[in-house]
Amino acid sequence: MSFFSGLDFFITLIIAIIPAIVIGLNGKSLRYYRGFLTCIFIYLIYRNSLMELAFLTGYSAMSLGLVKLYLLSRIKMGRNKFFYASAVIITLCPLILSKLESFVGHGFFGSGSTIFGFLGLSYIFFRVIQTIIEIYDGIINEIKWYEFLEFLLFFPTLSSGPIDRSRRFSQDYSKIYTGKEYSELLSNGIVKIMWGLLYKLPLSGTAMYIMNTYMINKYDPIHIIGYAYSYGLYMFFDFAGYSDMAIGLSEMFGYHCMENFNYPYMTESVAKFWRRWHISLSQWFRDYIYIPLGGSRTKSKGRVYINMLAVWLATGIWHGAAWNFVVWGLGFFILIAFEKVTGFPDTFKSKGMKIAYRIFTLFFINFEWVIFRAKDLKTAVIYIQNMFMFQKHTISDLRTMFIIKDYFWIILFAIVLSFPVVSNLRKRFEGKEELCRIYDAVIGILVIVLFIWAITFAVVGQNNPFAYANF
């Protein structure tokens, strides 16, 4: 939805944050104001699509009733597998119906519409399912309707996460912070939002422009390779930017959210990439699919890979019910299984081999982005075929030269921020208080300047919807 990433959204946020700051600094509970804001923002986000708002309301009410009924049955009848499976299947049905649209090619209510298709469905689904699983495991013994609904619908994380856990969410729900405690949350939140806006607006926006420029000719290998790497930067800065803003806003409203990114492109292997990318999603699949299936502790080695396959099929289909997403998930499964069998890159003794494998890993990840981005599997196959048809293309070479000439410093800046350069420099000054203070002051001023630069992009309308709001 355009409101969720437009200038109006940021202006409304600023207005909404001011009372929260006043309440928090005075050591009062943010609970009621937070719930009020969630209702207001849900209306603003969905006000132009009353059908989606109706589906959201219906699905949330159904989920509340379902978890309450299942909790009651769990208390009275214990770990009954029939009721447990029924609750899971009922929760799954709306998501399955929504995803099926991509396979059949049309909506249930006409072109562009799906039953229970609304912004945030995939993320709400994760929260409902994990609640049911933890009720089954005996971890959750009580459900408060107002707390559960806010857990599902809390607006900073509604569209694209991070995917929170109900137990951790409950810890902060009724917590009242002292003025000093809240001021720390506030300062952390502001810094997070500043970095998030920097990632989202100039860096993600520039990467998207370069990506679209390279998409002019999908049959040119230089174009496709340039497109793959620019899309990789776009996805990182767009999604990491959103996550930072969501985490920052959550802290300003009294919640702690888990980090969702940890410099994924500095990874040593494909497996470790997914420990750094969309961390809340990776951990969710690990905790609620991989481990319940037996994880790595099964007696049969073959069963371990079946469990991994199930996770990656689920990951692919969750991102999109289309064959290119299935192939995308299978690609990661194959490489991660290969690393598990061979022990790569940990078995390498040569530093050169480890560096070479890092380069290969980055190439493979961006190769996967080509499959991920394609509108269908046929288009993905065309892209991949042409990636390896190396020919001399003067126009392509000239376009690349113009992109480098016009955007060299932004590209370089984006690449630098893809790695922990700032934090690593800070570590070099540890134990030297004076140097640390100088470094922190310089970085603080730099962040403010970059924040102002980022805001100019929103003011002039150079903005684009969040990528992960589509999943």
Query: Going along 220-299, which residue ranges are E strands?
Result: none
Q: Which residue has the tokens 């203070």?
A: 437
Lowest mean per-residue pLDDT among 111-125, 194-208, 367-381, 446-460: 111-125
Cα distance between residue 133 and residue 125, in whole Å: 12
Q: Which one of the listed residues 223, 256, 278, 319 is annotated catalytic? A: 319
Longest dimension (CA), the chain: 74
Say if residue 438's pLDDT is above 70.
Answer: yes
Q: Is the pLDDT of residue 218 over 70?
A: no
Tokens 């969710």 belong to: 284
Is the pLDDT at 396 greater than 70? The verdict is no
Q: What is the pLDDT of residue 106?
A: 43
Residues 158/171, Cβ–Cβ less than 8 Å: no
Residues 250 and 245: their CA atoms lie apart, in Å, by: 8
CB-CB contact of 150 with 38 (8 Å): yes
Query: Is pLDDT above 50 for 437?
Result: yes
Residue 358, Cβ density class (10 Å: 0-12 exposed, 13-18 middle, ≥19 buried) = middle
CB atoms within 10 A of CB 362: 17
- Write down the H helix ranges in 343-393: 351-373, 377-387
The pLDDT-based confidence of 153 (bands split at 50, 70, 90) is: very high
Q: State yes or no: is 106 an active-site residue.
A: no
CA distance 465 to 294: 39
pLDDT at 259 over 70: yes
Q: Are 268 and 358 in contact (CB under 8 A)?
A: yes
Give bridge partners of residue 110 from the DSSP assignment: 108
Contact call for residues 146 and 169 (beta carbons, < 8 A)? no
DSSP state of 4: G
Is residue 466 within 8 A of residue 160, CB to CB? The reply is yes
* Lowest mean pLDDT across 32-36, 242-246, 449-453: 449-453
DSSP structure class, residue 6:
S
CB 330 within 8 A of CB 316: yes
Looking at residue 113, its pLDDT comes to: 46
CA 301 to chain centre: 31
State the Cα–Cα distance between residues 17 and 156, nearest whole angstrom: 12
More confident residue, 261 or 349: 261
The mean pLDDT of the chain is 84
CA 176 to chain centre: 29
Write the burial class of residue 70 (CB in 10 Å: 0-12 exposed, 13-18 middle, 19+ buried): buried
Which amino acid would we find at residue 135? I
- Whose tokens are 């109900």? That residue is 166
pLDDT top residue among 238 and 115: 238
Could you tell me the two tokens for 92? Answer: 């799954």
CA distances (Å), 200 to each of 50, 233, 308, 404, in order?
A: 28, 11, 32, 21
Residue 93: the pLDDT is 85
Q: Is 161 helix (H, G, I), strand (E, B) or coil?
A: coil
- pLDDT interval class at 13 (50, 70, 90): confident
Q: Check pLDDT > 60 for residue 392.
A: no
Main-chain dihedrals φ then ψ at residue 110, nearest 5 degrees: 110, 175
Residues 281-321 have pLDDT tens digits of 999 999 999 998 888 888 788 899 999 999 999 999 888 87
pLDDT tens-digit profile of 312-324? 999 998 888 788 9
108 beta partners: 110
pLDDT at 109: 40
* Per-residue pLDDT tens over the stretch 199-208: 988 888 888 8
